[in-house]
Structure 1
Amino acid sequence: MSAGCGHEHSFDGMDDAYKRRLVIVTILNLLGFAIEMSAGALSGSQALKADALDFLADGATYALSLWAIGRPLQVRAGAAFAKGLSLVAIGLWIAGSTLYQVFYMGMPEPHVMSIVGLIALGINFVSVWLLMAYKDGDANVRSVWLCSRNDMIGNIAVVGAAGAVAVLGNGAPDLIVAFIMSALFLSSAGQILRQSATEWQRARSGEAVTHDHEHDHGHSH
């Protein structure tokens, strides 16, 4: 999947259709967070809780992305960098809480995991479908796509873990999925942080060049 960051004029989100889709997926993701976190607490599923946090992170990401659209490249890159740091924090939280679960492991309820996982998968399918045409762009746009993709992969994994928990009769698959999702968060965070840092540097270089031109122009008079 191409990052789109090598393009000279990457998509910056300045499109009304894109903004409308961001509003829709923001609402969908906050709804998904409420459903999955409640179900995760009731079923004892660490994977559901991890995926619920993914929904929450995405809701915040989309809201921040909407705010950043149309602002200078340096501001957009800074917003994307902040989102990358939030993904690092959540990835580490998932890993830490999963380790805690290993020592106090209760078997999650696979039926609840399956039902809620399928509902969440439906929400994410709609989100990914809405954003598919905008997967390439600047770091701000790119971070939106990566978070949506993570949700889709995470929900498929949760549904698979629910089946494995039911078949094996223990919670190990649930924990494995949570660790995989943690790694996915950290990987996506790395991509976002690298691209946003590159764009930040490009914006700073552009400002320096502009300043030098203005300075030279002033001396020419």
Structure 2
Amino acid sequence: MPKHTYVSEYRVSKMDCPSEEGMIRMALDGIEPSVVLEFDTPNRKVRIFHGDNATTIESQMQSLGLDATLEKTVPVADKDLASALDEDAKASQQEAGILKWLLAINATLFVTELFVGWWAESTGLIADSLDMFADAAVYGVSLYAVGYSANKKLRAAHFSGWLQLILAVGVLAEVLRRFLYGSEPLSNIMIMMGLIALAANVTCLLLIAKKRHAGAHMKASWIFSANDVIANAGVILAGLLVSWTGSHYPDLIIGLVIALIVMNGARRILQLRH
């Protein structure tokens, strides 16, 4: 940080979820001198510790279209700056450890569920594995991007978004193929694998629990895992309905729904800009 340091407090009316926090982080990440951010999402406020670059920060904040209003800019005491930097460093180290566990769990489940879904002829499991991949990609990008420029972070995020989109289109094509030509999903395997995936995502929620308010990426991780629990429950329900009705339609429906959810997530990632 520069010799003369200030803290600017913004009220951001449209900052109501982790994606907006991510947009702010990305917009301010590449500016010099560098800044330290403190988010208060429930009150839609962000504190920015910065040097003599308030004009650049104001320009970047307004370019996001999040209805940001500068409430005040004041000089910051050395002890307050040191405390903010220290807390930021400690939090980043702890969060990196959690993200590595989340990446390992989701990557393992992606490979396992994809193989089992193919073997069990279940588009629901295949789509759910894609959901696991989407999460693993986000965690991987979060870890990979540490220390890199804003441009490189954006390229990494867009790469994961395109990959998710391509895989989601592939799942939709598979749903259509099985709708036209039929399939015989193994309901007992669907239920068993769904329960395993559910246990894995509950584990992820427990890992994130204490850190879910620490920043945009950790809040996003909490939301991803919570949504995955819902998707897992949908696969289990579809397996029960396949067993009860003898029809493959419940499997196709849950596969379609999850694939569309992943496509929407990919769309949001690809819309990220500086």
In the superposition, the TM-score normalised over structure 1's length comes to: 0.76
The correspondence of residues 1-221 of structure 1 with structure 2, limited to 5 A, is 2-3=17-18, 5=20, 9=37, 15-131=92-208, 133-134=211-212, 137=215, 144=221, 147-194=224-271, 196-197=272-273, 200=274
Asked whether the 8 Å contact 2:124–2:251 carries over to 1, the reply is yes
Letter aligned with residue 120 of structure 2: S
Q: Which has the higher contact order (CA 8 A, sep 6+)?
A: 1
Secondary structure of 1:15's aligned partner: helix
Q: Deviations over 1:12-44 (max 9, x none)?
A: 996111111111111111221233123213321
> Structure 1 vs Structure 2: percent identity of aligned residues?
27
Segments of structure 1 that go 5 or more residues without pairing to the other structure are 201-221
The structural deviation recorded for 1:123 is: 0.6
> Structure 1 pair 148/193, CA: closer, same or farther in 2 (3 Å)?
farther
Mapped to 2, the partners of 1:129 and 1:188 lie a distance apart of 23
Q: Deviations over 1:156-185 (max 9, x none)?
A: 211111111112210100000011011101
Mapped to 2, the partners of 1:116 and 1:89 lie a distance apart of 24
Mapped to 1, the partners of 2:195 and 2:130 lie a distance apart of 17
Larger Rg: 2
Mapped to 1, the partners of 2:100 and 2:227 lie a distance apart of 19
Asked whether the 8 Å contact 1:4–1:10 carries over to 2, the reply is no
The structural deviation recorded for 1:141 is: 6.3
Letter aligned with residue 233 of structure 2: I
Q: Deviations over 1:95-128 (max 9, x none)?
A: 1111011122122111111011000111112223
Root-mean-square deviation (Å): 2.8
In the superposition, the TM-score normalised over structure 2's length comes to: 0.62
Segments of structure 2 that go 5 or more residues without pairing to the other structure are 1-15, 26-36, 40-87
* The 10-residue stretch of structure 1 (28-37 or 106-115) with the greater mean CA deviation from structure 2: 28-37
Mapped to 2, the partners of 1:83 and 1:146 lie a distance apart of 18
* The 10-residue stretch of structure 1 (164-173 or 60-69) with the greater mean CA deviation from structure 2: 60-69
> Structure 1 pair 74/146, CA: closer, same or farther in 2 (3 Å)?
farther
The structural deviation recorded for 1:151 is: 2.8
Letter aligned with residue 46 of structure 1: T
Asked whether the 8 Å contact 1:83–1:143 carries over to 2, the reply is no
Mapped to 2, the partners of 1:97 and 1:4 lie a distance apart of 30
Letter aligned with residue 74 of structure 1: N
Mapped to 1, the partners of 2:151 and 2:225 lie a distance apart of 24
What is the aligned residue count? 196
The structural deviation recorded for 1:136 is: 7.8
Mapped to 1, the partners of 2:205 and 2:179 lie a distance apart of 32
User: Of Structure 1 and Structure 2, which has the larger fraction of its residues in helix?
Assistant: 1
User: Of Structure 1 and Structure 2, which has the larger fraction of its residues in strand?
Assistant: 2
* The 10-residue stretch of structure 1 (94-103 or 127-136) with the greater mean CA deviation from structure 2: 127-136
